[in-house]
Structure formats: C-alpha cells, structure tokens
Amino acid sequence: MAQERRGEWGSKIGFILAAAGSAVGLGNVWKFPYITGENGGGLFVIIYLICIVLVGLPIMIGEVMLGRMTQRSPVGAFRKLDGEKSLWQGVGWLGVLSGFVILSYYSVVAGWALEYVVIAAKGEMSSGNPALMSERFGEVSGDGPGATLWHVAFMALTVAIVIGGVQKGVEIAARVLMPLLLLMFLALLVYATTLEGFGEGFNFVFGFHTDKLGAGSILEALGHSFFTLSVGMGAMLTYGSYLRKDDDIIGASVAITIIDTLVAIMACLVLFPITFTYGMEPEAGPSLVFTNIPMAFAQIPGSTIWALIFFLLLVFAALTSAISLLEVCSAYFVDELGWSRTLAVPVCGLTITLLGVPSALTFSTATFGSGMEAAIGKSWFDLFDYVSSNWMLPLCGLGISVFAAWKLGDEARRVQFEAGSTLGKLQGLYVLWLQVLRYVVPAAIVVVMLHAIGLF
Ligand code: PFF
Ligand code: NA
C-alpha cells in the first residue's frame, strides 16, 4: 500500500535532475567561493576535492541505495531495515534536524539573492564601483526587518512548491534552469579569462599555498563536501526512495557529483579573478558573490539584464535545494506520524521560518551578531552554518555509511549497486566502493573530527 502511495520520478532522468537540483545551489555559488577565500584557496580546494571523491560520493551512493531499498524517508528507512526499536533511527532523526537547521539560514541567504533580483532590475548594478557594491550588500544584509521579510518570502515560495508534490515542478525547473546556470557560468568564465587578474585568481584557487589554512580548515572542507552534495541528512535518501528498481544509482551519483563540482570550481574561477582585478578582498566572507558578480556585469553592455538573469538563476538554484531540505523535514511527519502533506509542509515551513529569524537579524542586531560573537565566538548565522554542515552532516553521514557498508546484506547491496548501471557492473568497482565506505569514510570522518576538537 505504502508503495502505491509513493510517487515515482516522471522519467529516468528525473532523479538526476532533481538530485542535481538539490546539490547545486548556494553552496556552490555563494558558500564555496567564500570559504575558499577565507581558507586561503589552493590547498583548501585540494582537500575539498579529495573529500568529495573519497567521502561524499561513496556516501551518496550508499544513501540513495538505502532510499530505494526501503522506499522510505530517513527515519523509516532505518526502522524498516533494522526493526521497530532500532537505535539507527537516531541517524535519521539527526538528518531531519539538520534539515531544519540548514534551511533556516539557507533561506536567509536565498532571501538576499531574491532582493538582489529586484536591485538588479532597478539597474543598480551598473556602477562598477567595488566600494559601492560592498556598501549595498551591507545595506541588504544589515537591514534586519528587510532581510527577515525576504527570508519569509523565500520560505513561502518553497512551501508553496513542496505542497504541490515533488516530481512535477522540480523536474521541470531543473531541466531548464540547470543548463542555463551552467551556460551563464561558462560565459562568465570566458569573460573572467580576459581580466587582468585572471592569472592571480587562478593561482589563488589552484596554487599550493598553506598560509591561511587554519586548524578548522580540514573540518570545513569535509563538512562542505557533505553540504554541497546534499548528503548526510537524508535528502538523497528521500529522493532515492522515488527511484525505480532498474535506475542507475552509480551513474547518477557520479553525474551529480561532477556537475556540482564543476559549478563550484567555475564559481571560484569567475569570482577570484574579479577580486584580484579590482583590488577586492578574497576574505570578504558571505558578501563575496554579492559584490563581485555586479562588478563583472558592470563592465559589459546590458549589465542590468545580465545581473537580473544571474540572480534569478541563483534564486532558482537555491529554490531546488530548499525544496529538498523542506521535503526531508516534512516527509518525516507524513511518513512517520501520518500527517497529511498539506499540514506537514506548512507546519515545517513555519517552524523553519521562525528558526531563521535570528539568522536574518544577525547582521543588524548586536544580540545575534557581534554580541553573540563576543560571547561564544560565532554569530547566530555562523553558528547554525558551522554546527549543521561541519558536525551534524558528517555525523549523520558517518551513520549512513556505517549502516550501508556493514549492516546491509551483501547480496542485496550488490544488486542495488549494479542495477541498470554499466558503471556499476565494472569489474571491481563494487568491491572498491565497499572498502572505501567501510574503512576510508569512517576513518576520515572520525580523524577529522578528533583533529578539530584538538585531540591531536
Ligand atoms: N547542496 C545544497 C547547496 O550546495 O547549496 C545545500 C543543501 C541542500 C544541503 C539540501 C543539504 C541538503 F539536504
Ligand atoms: Na552544492
């Protein structure tokens, strides 16, 4: 019965589109460049790429697999496989909780992007003055009530779409908008190569330098590899639960990982040349994309329309990610507590909206910003980001990987791995993946975490 109630993806490529839509978002365009800047580029990027290949991708495969095997959302998936009283359900709960925390501040950033659509439409991005652009961002993020309203608007949009059901909207949005976003970055990249600061920017991203690499950098790179791929909280598990028996999990996971990584690297290769060309700050933090992109557009004809398209695409990318986050949160109440979708989605949406208000106020009030920073070393906004992506996702990911690698029956797991997949049937690939998931992934997560708390 439960099986019949569940939707399936409308087409074979539906899952790839939706999962890629979940993966590609603010994490690639906003967060990755700014943390790369803060961590000095170079070595940080390399560590991140290693984490993607060795940790993120193997977990994604395991996570999607658990979804398809159980046709459940995270908590129910573990119960179905391990029994009513299973403690593994805790891994699912942690994932659902991460969804609430992440979306609460994610939506604040998406709200800024939404406001930038309006700012772009008004033609305010043609000035080509870095100081002015950075001041403008200060106004947007520093206006507490304004930022809160845009956050509410973005959440309302997300709720409205998720109430409608996952398949339709997301698939269409991703099919059209993802290629457009890639094209946009390709064009920007071509433009960036003509800039005086391209060499310096390129070297910043790929050069081998350790100067800014702090104690927390490795944890940050690891945490971001989870965040950017949307793994370690059950989003991929939930999307995987709508897959058909003969869909290719391995090919899809590899494709999603490649697309996500491409967008992130392209974003850096666009933003840092701009940074160095105009004497801006690589360590600008969360403002980076919002000040640099207008600089690029100001130099070319039709700046207003380009900036408008860019921020619209960014909002859509954020939206397809936010949808997957809200989907995980509400699926818990629908699948586990028997709520109707029309009740669960608004209730979760409202909770997340409220939870996000302190993040929206972080840049305007001392209480959630400088005051908290003085007291505990992090603003509310940074705290939510730090705890969810650097601790909750890797911990939950650890649980998912250990379960998939050690608890699942080998027979069933291999069938999942090979089903419909040319890549999955490649000689030795299954065993390689399993060994990585069994030993490398847990060891890496545990070692990085112990390192981060200063044990060695
Ligand atoms: N992967 C998204 C991004 O890079 O913007 C963020 C995200 C979406 C994280 C969904 C986690 C998630 F479940
Ligand atoms: Na991403």
Euclidean distance between CA atoms 245 and 450, whole angstroms: 39
What is the pLDDT averaged over residues 190-217? Answer: 92
Quick one: average pLDDT of 7-13?
74
Determine phi and psi for 197, rounding to 5 degrees.
-90, 15
Q: Given a cut of 90, is residue 427 above it in pLDDT?
A: yes
User: Which structure tokens are listed for 323?
Assistant: 């949808």
Report pLDDT for 456: 78
Whole-number Å distance, alpha carbon 197 to ligand 1 midpoint, is 31
Q: Tokens 């791995």 map to which residue?
A: 417
Q: What is the pLDDT at residue 172? A: 75
In sequence order, the 6+-apart residues with CB closer than 8 A to the CB of 84 are: none
User: If you classify domain 2-452 with CATH, what class do you get?
Assistant: mainly alpha
Residue range 434-445: average pLDDT? 98
Six token digits for residue 107: 């939506």
Other Cβ atoms less than 10 A from the Cβ of 40: the count is 20
User: Residue range 443-451: average pLDDT?
Assistant: 96
Question: What is the H or E stretch that residue 432 is in?
Answer: helix 429-435
Q: Tell me: the pLDDT tens digits for 290-305?
A: 999 999 888 888 889 9
**Protein residues placing their CB within 5 Å of the ion ligand 2:** 23, 27-28, 228, 260
How many Cα atoms sit within 13 Å of 70 on the Cβ side? 25
Q: What is the DSSP string of 231-248?
A: -SSSHHHHHHTT--TT--
Judge if the beta carbon of residue 96 lies within 6 A of ligand 1.
no
Decide whether any atom of ligand 1 lies within 6 Å of the 287 Cβ: no
Between the CA of residue 267 and those of 19, 39, 202, 225, what are the distances in Å? 20, 16, 12, 16
Other Cβ atoms less than 10 A from the Cβ of 145: the count is 10
Q: What is the pLDDT of residues 139-192, one digit of tens each?
A: 999 999 999 999 999 999 999 988 877 556 677 777 888 899 999 999 999 999
110-144: pLDDT as tens digits: 999 999 999 999 988 888 899 999 999 999 999 99
Mean pLDDT of 47-66: 98
Sign, Cα dihedral of 66, 72, 73, 75: negative
366 burial (CB, 10 Å; 0-12 / 13-18 / 19+) is exposed
How far apart CA 204 and CA 33 sit, in angstroms, is 11
226 Cα to the center of ligand 1, angstroms: 8
Radius of gyration of the chain from Cα atoms?
21
How crowded is residue 191: how many other Cβ atoms within 10 Å of its Cβ? Answer: 18
Residue 4's pLDDT band (cuts 50, 70, 90): very low
Provide the 10 A C-beta neighbour count for residue 154.
Answer: 27
Q: Does 321 contact ligand 1 (Cβ within 6 A)?
A: yes
